[in-house]
Amino acid sequence: MTQKLTLLFDLDGTLADTAPDLLSAHNHVMKKFGYKTKNIDEIRNYVGKGAAEMIGKSIWSSAKKELSKITDQKIKNEMIKEFLDYYGKNTVVKSKLINGVYEFLKWAKSNNISMGVCTNKQEHLAIDFLKKIKIYDFFEYVSGRNTFDYCKPDPRHLTSSIEIMNGDIKKSLMIGDSENDTEAAKSAGIPMILLKDGYTEKKIEQLHHDYLIKDFIGLEKIVSKYLNDWSQSLYCFS
Protein backbone atom coordinates (compact mmCIF):
# COMPACT_ATOMS: atom_id res chain seq x y z
CA MET A 1 0.00 0.00 0.00
CA THR A 2 1.37 3.42 -0.98
CA GLN A 3 1.35 6.02 1.76
CA LYS A 4 -0.66 9.06 0.69
CA LEU A 5 0.87 12.38 1.69
CA THR A 6 -0.75 15.82 1.57
CA LEU A 7 1.33 18.93 0.95
CA LEU A 8 -0.11 22.38 1.59
CA PHE A 9 1.57 25.46 0.15
CA ASP A 10 1.27 29.13 0.84
CA LEU A 11 1.37 31.19 -2.37
CA ASP A 12 2.89 34.67 -2.00
CA GLY A 13 6.56 34.38 -1.09
CA THR A 14 6.41 30.57 -1.14
CA LEU A 15 5.45 29.27 -4.58
CA ALA A 16 6.16 32.60 -6.25
CA ASP A 17 7.78 35.95 -5.67
CA THR A 18 4.68 38.09 -6.16
CA ALA A 19 5.93 41.20 -4.37
CA PRO A 20 6.77 43.19 -7.54
CA ASP A 21 3.20 43.03 -8.88
CA LEU A 22 1.68 43.58 -5.43
CA LEU A 23 3.93 46.63 -5.11
CA SER A 24 2.67 48.01 -8.41
CA ALA A 25 -0.96 47.58 -7.34
CA HIS A 26 -0.27 49.01 -3.88
CA ASN A 27 1.50 52.08 -5.21
CA HIS A 28 -1.19 52.63 -7.83
CA VAL A 29 -3.74 52.89 -5.01
CA MET A 30 -1.49 55.06 -2.83
CA LYS A 31 -0.95 57.55 -5.64
CA LYS A 32 -4.63 57.69 -6.54
CA PHE A 33 -5.71 58.36 -2.95
CA GLY A 34 -2.90 60.74 -2.05
CA TYR A 35 -0.58 58.60 0.07
CA LYS A 36 3.13 57.91 -0.13
CA THR A 37 4.29 54.93 -2.17
CA LYS A 38 6.43 52.11 -0.78
CA ASN A 39 9.52 50.25 -1.96
CA ILE A 40 9.83 46.51 -2.56
CA ASP A 41 11.39 45.73 0.83
CA GLU A 42 8.60 47.52 2.69
CA ILE A 43 5.83 45.83 0.74
CA ARG A 44 7.22 42.34 1.43
CA ASN A 45 6.44 42.89 5.11
CA TYR A 46 2.80 43.74 4.36
CA VAL A 47 2.01 40.73 2.15
CA GLY A 48 0.08 37.76 3.50
CA LYS A 49 -2.81 39.23 5.45
CA GLY A 50 -4.91 40.47 2.55
CA ALA A 51 -5.43 43.71 0.66
CA ALA A 52 -7.27 45.50 3.47
CA GLU A 53 -4.52 44.99 6.02
CA MET A 54 -1.80 45.74 3.48
CA ILE A 55 -3.34 49.10 2.67
CA GLY A 56 -4.27 49.88 6.27
CA LYS A 57 -0.84 49.03 7.62
CA SER A 58 0.84 51.02 4.88
CA ILE A 59 -1.18 54.14 5.67
CA TRP A 60 -0.88 53.69 9.43
CA SER A 61 2.89 53.47 9.23
CA SER A 62 3.27 56.49 6.97
CA ALA A 63 0.45 58.81 7.97
CA LYS A 64 -0.80 58.40 11.55
CA LYS A 65 -2.34 61.84 11.56
CA GLU A 66 -4.53 60.77 8.64
CA LEU A 67 -5.79 57.65 10.38
CA SER A 68 -9.31 59.06 10.23
CA LYS A 69 -9.29 58.41 6.49
CA ILE A 70 -8.73 54.69 6.87
CA THR A 71 -11.43 54.44 9.53
CA ASP A 72 -13.86 55.83 6.97
CA GLN A 73 -15.26 52.52 5.73
CA LYS A 74 -16.38 53.95 2.39
CA ILE A 75 -12.89 55.21 1.53
CA LYS A 76 -11.31 52.01 2.80
CA ASN A 77 -13.63 49.92 0.62
CA GLU A 78 -12.88 52.10 -2.41
CA MET A 79 -9.14 51.62 -1.87
CA ILE A 80 -9.48 47.87 -1.49
CA LYS A 81 -11.65 47.63 -4.61
CA GLU A 82 -9.17 49.71 -6.59
CA PHE A 83 -6.33 47.48 -5.40
CA LEU A 84 -8.14 44.25 -6.29
CA ASP A 85 -9.26 45.55 -9.68
CA TYR A 86 -5.78 46.73 -10.63
CA TYR A 87 -4.01 43.67 -9.26
CA GLY A 88 -6.51 41.32 -10.87
CA LYS A 89 -5.48 42.67 -14.27
CA ASN A 90 -1.74 42.64 -13.52
CA THR A 91 -1.03 39.53 -11.45
CA VAL A 92 1.78 38.04 -13.53
CA VAL A 93 3.67 40.98 -15.00
CA LYS A 94 6.84 40.76 -12.91
CA SER A 95 6.01 37.85 -10.59
CA LYS A 96 7.98 34.63 -11.02
CA LEU A 97 8.15 31.16 -9.50
CA ILE A 98 10.55 30.54 -6.64
CA ASN A 99 13.61 28.61 -7.77
CA GLY A 100 12.90 24.89 -8.18
CA VAL A 101 9.11 25.08 -7.72
CA TYR A 102 8.06 23.67 -11.08
CA GLU A 103 10.49 20.74 -10.91
CA PHE A 104 9.43 19.90 -7.34
CA LEU A 105 5.73 19.98 -8.20
CA LYS A 106 6.36 17.59 -11.11
CA TRP A 107 8.26 15.24 -8.78
CA ALA A 108 5.52 15.34 -6.14
CA LYS A 109 2.80 14.70 -8.73
CA SER A 110 4.71 11.72 -10.10
CA ASN A 111 4.94 10.31 -6.57
CA ASN A 112 1.19 10.38 -5.99
CA ILE A 113 1.38 13.22 -3.45
CA SER A 114 -1.76 15.31 -2.97
CA MET A 115 -1.13 19.05 -3.15
CA GLY A 116 -3.19 22.08 -2.25
CA VAL A 117 -2.73 25.82 -1.82
CA CYS A 118 -3.75 27.68 1.36
CA THR A 119 -3.33 31.39 0.82
CA ASN A 120 -4.65 34.60 2.31
CA LYS A 121 -5.08 35.90 -1.23
CA GLN A 122 -8.67 36.10 -2.44
CA GLU A 123 -9.54 32.67 -3.83
CA HIS A 124 -10.35 33.85 -7.36
CA LEU A 125 -7.12 35.86 -7.55
CA ALA A 126 -5.11 32.86 -6.34
CA ILE A 127 -6.66 30.53 -8.91
CA ASP A 128 -6.21 33.08 -11.69
CA PHE A 129 -2.57 33.59 -10.72
CA LEU A 130 -1.81 29.86 -10.57
CA LYS A 131 -3.35 29.39 -14.01
CA LYS A 132 -1.43 32.30 -15.53
CA ILE A 133 1.88 31.13 -14.10
CA LYS A 134 1.05 27.60 -15.35
CA ILE A 135 1.09 25.51 -12.17
CA TYR A 136 -2.64 25.33 -11.37
CA ASP A 137 -3.04 21.77 -12.67
CA PHE A 138 -0.66 20.41 -10.05
CA PHE A 139 -3.11 21.19 -7.26
CA GLU A 140 -6.21 19.33 -6.14
CA TYR A 141 -7.58 22.24 -4.15
CA VAL A 142 -7.06 25.98 -3.65
CA SER A 143 -8.42 27.84 -0.62
CA GLY A 144 -8.12 31.57 -0.19
CA ARG A 145 -8.87 34.27 2.33
CA ASN A 146 -12.58 34.21 1.49
CA THR A 147 -13.06 30.44 1.03
CA PHE A 148 -14.07 29.84 4.64
CA ASP A 149 -15.19 32.08 7.49
CA TYR A 150 -11.59 31.98 8.73
CA CYS A 151 -8.09 32.13 7.30
CA LYS A 152 -4.47 31.74 8.41
CA PRO A 153 -3.20 31.94 11.10
CA ASP A 154 -6.38 30.10 12.10
CA PRO A 155 -5.39 26.40 11.85
CA ARG A 156 -8.81 25.52 10.47
CA HIS A 157 -7.74 27.03 7.16
CA LEU A 158 -5.28 24.15 6.88
CA THR A 159 -7.32 21.39 8.51
CA SER A 160 -10.47 22.17 6.50
CA SER A 161 -8.49 22.11 3.26
CA ILE A 162 -6.94 18.76 4.16
CA GLU A 163 -10.37 17.36 5.00
CA ILE A 164 -11.81 18.52 1.67
CA MET A 165 -8.85 16.85 -0.07
CA ASN A 166 -9.62 13.60 1.80
CA GLY A 167 -6.21 13.82 3.43
CA ASP A 168 -4.96 12.98 6.90
CA ILE A 169 -3.71 15.76 9.18
CA LYS A 170 -1.18 13.29 10.61
CA LYS A 171 0.21 12.70 7.13
CA SER A 172 0.45 16.32 5.97
CA LEU A 173 3.13 18.99 5.63
CA MET A 174 2.88 22.77 5.37
CA ILE A 175 5.29 24.82 3.26
CA GLY A 176 5.26 28.58 3.77
CA ASP A 177 7.26 31.71 4.48
CA SER A 178 5.54 33.81 7.15
CA GLU A 179 4.12 33.77 10.67
CA ASN A 180 0.63 33.17 9.29
CA ASP A 181 1.85 29.85 7.92
CA THR A 182 3.97 28.83 10.90
CA GLU A 183 1.33 29.70 13.51
CA ALA A 184 -1.39 27.85 11.60
CA ALA A 185 0.81 24.77 11.14
CA LYS A 186 1.91 24.74 14.78
CA SER A 187 -1.65 25.02 16.07
CA ALA A 188 -2.80 22.29 13.69
CA GLY A 189 0.05 19.98 14.66
CA ILE A 190 1.39 19.84 11.11
CA PRO A 191 5.16 19.77 10.40
CA MET A 192 6.33 23.11 8.98
CA ILE A 193 8.86 23.70 6.20
CA LEU A 194 9.87 27.37 6.20
CA LEU A 195 11.42 29.36 3.38
CA LYS A 196 14.16 31.83 4.26
CA ASP A 197 13.72 35.50 3.36
CA GLY A 198 9.94 35.27 3.38
CA TYR A 199 7.30 37.98 3.39
CA THR A 200 7.51 38.76 7.09
CA GLU A 201 9.00 41.28 9.48
CA LYS A 202 9.96 38.55 11.96
CA LYS A 203 13.33 36.86 12.24
CA ILE A 204 13.76 33.18 11.41
CA GLU A 205 14.32 32.25 15.05
CA GLN A 206 10.94 33.78 15.93
CA LEU A 207 9.10 31.51 13.50
CA HIS A 208 8.19 27.93 14.32
CA HIS A 209 9.56 25.45 11.80
CA ASP A 210 10.81 21.88 11.48
CA TYR A 211 12.92 22.50 8.39
CA LEU A 212 14.40 25.64 6.87
CA ILE A 213 14.97 25.89 3.10
CA LYS A 214 16.35 28.55 0.77
CA ASP A 215 14.21 27.49 -2.20
CA PHE A 216 12.64 24.31 -3.60
CA ILE A 217 15.82 22.74 -4.93
CA GLY A 218 16.39 19.51 -3.02
CA LEU A 219 13.06 19.72 -1.17
CA GLU A 220 12.15 16.24 -2.38
CA LYS A 221 14.79 14.84 0.02
CA ILE A 222 12.94 16.29 3.03
CA VAL A 223 9.55 15.17 1.77
CA SER A 224 10.91 11.70 0.97
CA LYS A 225 12.06 11.39 4.58
CA TYR A 226 8.48 11.90 5.76
CA LEU A 227 7.19 9.47 3.15
CA ASN A 228 9.66 6.82 4.29
CA ASP A 229 8.95 7.38 7.98
CA TRP A 230 5.19 7.10 7.46
CA SER A 231 5.57 4.07 5.21
CA GLN A 232 7.67 2.28 7.84
CA SER A 233 5.12 3.15 10.50
CA LEU A 234 2.35 1.73 8.31
CA TYR A 235 4.37 -1.45 7.73
CA CYS A 236 4.92 -1.94 11.47
CA PHE A 237 1.19 -1.84 12.15
CA SER A 238 0.06 -3.83 9.12
Neighbours of 22 (CB within 10 A): 27
Would you give the DSSP letter of residue 171?
A: G
Q: Which of 10, 12, 17, 177 is catalytic?
A: 10
Concerning whether 12 is annotated as a catalytic residue, the answer is no
Say how many Å lie between the first and final Cα of the chain, rounded: 10
Check if the beta carbon of residue 35 is closer than 8 Å to that of residue 42: no
Q: How far apart are CA 145 and CA 154, in angstroms?
A: 11
Going through the chain in order, the beta strands assigned E by DSSP cover 6-9, 16-17, 96-97, 114-118, 141-143, 172-176, 192-195, 211-213
Q: Active-site residue numbers?
A: 10
